Amino acid sequence: MQPVKQASQRGGLAALSVGGEGVVEDRARFASHCAGDFAYLPRMQPTLTGGLIWYFVLLYSTVLHEAAHAWAAKKLGDDTAYRGGQVSLDPIPHIMREPFGMVILPILSYMYNGWMMGFASAPYDPHWALRFPKRSATMAMAGPAANLLLATVAFVLLVAGAKAGKFVPMMVQEGTDVWALIGMMLFVMFMLNTVLMVFNLLPLPPLDGSSIPLFFLQGSKAEQYQHFIWQPHIAFIGMAVAFYGGGEVVWRVFYKVYGLLVHMAY
């Protein structure tokens, strides 16, 4: 049996574009968003440079997320993903498993919106998951933990770069030099991984957050819950709710964290 990790589809990614005459005005504008207003995410004009930056960050953020799932599973007794070559930062095994989510969808979404979305997956043994539900839940949490790590690194570097006057902590940079490109890449890395982490922690199947109850359920209750969330129609409903109802939650959290970044940077 070739199992498929049910909680590994990755969700939408977005970018924001800001105009303005200076850092002070931009800071005030974003601080108001972070105070609680859900911000509108406009369609951005796609560019070759922007597309390359977006794809590089999306590719390795997704690869690290799935590699973290695979590594945690191997450490906890399931080597299914390891045997598939996914305990690796090499993107090829991940692309071969999900070519549409890792190549085609990112390109199409960027051409249409100016920002990218995509998904990937990692296989696991459902019999192992049923036998060790808490280990399965730990494996599920490893992916968002990887995104948290990347978002934190980007957060720290954005603050440091802004304080040093090298770039501004936003998508649109004031300039076209190498520091502006670095600033854009770090912002995409911060935004994308924050959104991925929060989105995947929504407690809806097939997202990673749906495994959180397994830390508390025992015996037959845990097994019944797993069989429930693995049902295809339940996963379909969960994704529909996540995309159409979870977006506001995700972006409200992002802007709260971004508000902290802005206030630390200036």
Give the catalytic positions in this structure: 66
Contact 194, 146 (CB under 8 A): no
Dist CA 82 CA 88 (whole Å): 8
Sign of CA dihedral 161, 143, 36, 237: positive
Dist CA 40 CA 24 (whole Å): 20
Q: How far is CA 207 from the centre of its chain?
A: 11
The secondary structure of 125-182 as a DSSP string is -HHHHHH-HHHHHHHHHHHHHHHHHHHHHHHHHHHHHHHTTS--SSSS-SSSSHHHHH
Cis peptide before 206, with omega less than 30 degrees from 0? Answer: yes
Which residues, in sequence order, are CB contacts of 246 under 8 Å at separation 6+?
199, 202, 204
State the first-to-last Cα distance of the chain, in angstroms, to the nearest integer.
55
